[in-house]
Amino acid sequence: MTIENISQAKVAGGWHKQYTHDSVTLNCNMRFAIFLPPNASKTKPVPVLYWLSGLTCTDENFMQKAGAFRRAAELGIAIVAPDTSPRGEDVADDEGYDLGQGAGFYLNATQEPWSRHYHMYDYVTEELPALIEANFPVSRIKSISGHSMGGHGALTIGLKNAQRYRSISAFSPISNPMQCPWGQKAFNAYLGNDFETWKQYDASELLKQAEAKLPILVDQGDADNFLVEQLKPEMLQAAAKEHDSDVEVRIQPGYDHSYYFISSFIDEHLEFHAAYLNQ
């Protein structure tokens, strides 16, 4: 599992670094970013928060815009941000921004031509953590968070892998993708018409089936242009209520879908995760 460092910068006493590597899971070269707090060392490995970004994003959006480093450094938490899809000239793509490269939806595609590369679920849950733990001073203790499509990914991955993570959070997640245009387009392309498979990548459907075994924090702005048609937080709330799951959905007045919103509440999310990562 060879990785290549392509950039680094000192920040908040720690280091932000970008790496590339050849992914066996995705059959292409991938890039990820990592923030290491100043207290990270081989003798004192730190826990990790995995951040999954939204449509059209890369590893850079969160790292450059969220303003998370200072508080993460104080809390002693590393942050890992993968790309949002496989990339490359031979990787299937689409003319739309909401399918193909930049829009992997954190699932394992079963349909051609997507199934050759689009296995972001396995990449995030298996290959990337193994890579991070083998090459950096981090422990196996981790939590997961994300925004929009990445919020969908954080919720579904965390709900399906409660033994791997300590906590889950999301900003403006696609809460019920089976019932919104973004999700329906992606699921049809990547998964075909097997609706039972769709349910395994829908946070609201997963919560209907069983109680959440991890604490979940969700922030949603009420001025978000995608709120009604695409995000549907009320479906997540209703599903969580069925099993009295530990899901807190906060509707934040006046906030939109942007990183202005994320940067306003990222410290609270880091503190939420720290309470479980540092137990």
Could you say which of 148, 167, 175, 245 is catalytic? 148
Residue closest to 195 by CA, chosen among 182, 179, 219, 208: 179
Type of residue found at 74: E
Element spanning 9, H or E: strand 3-11
Per DSSP, the residues of 175-225 read --GGGSHHHHHHHHHHHTT-HHHHHTT-HHHHHHHS--SS-EEEEEETT-T
User: Is 194 among the catalytic positions?
Assistant: no
Angle in degrees, CA 245, 196, 191, rounded to 5: 115
Examine the residue annotation and report whether 257 is marked as an active-site residue of this protein.
yes
The active-site residue out of 152, 257, 269, 273 is 257
Q: Indicate the fold that domain 3-278 takes in CATH.
A: Rossmann fold (3.40.50)
Q: Is 117 in the active site?
A: no
* Burial track 238-249 (b if 16+ CB lie within 10 A, e otherwise): ebbeeeebebeb
Please tell me the predicted confidence (pLDDT) of residue 129: 98
Q: In this predicted model, what pLDDT tens digit does every residue of 107-116 receive, in sequence order?
A: 999 999 999 9
* Of 77, 12, 80, nearest in space to 46 by CA: 77
DSSP 100: B
Pairing status of strand 138-147 against strand 46-52: parallel
Mean pLDDT in consecutive groups of 10 residues from the start of the chain, 279 residues: 95 98 98 98 97 98 98 98 98 98 98 98 98 98 98 98 98 98 98 96 96 96 98 97 94 98 98 96
Of residues 83, 202, 219, 224, which has the active-site annotation? Answer: 224
β-bridge partners, 100? 103
Structure tokens at 216: 């979940």
DSSP 64-81: HHS--HHHHHHHT-EEEE
Output the pLDDT for position 279: 86
Q: What is the pTM of this model?
A: 0.97
State the pLDDT at residue 109. Answer: 98
Q: Which residue has the tokens 């959006």?
A: 61
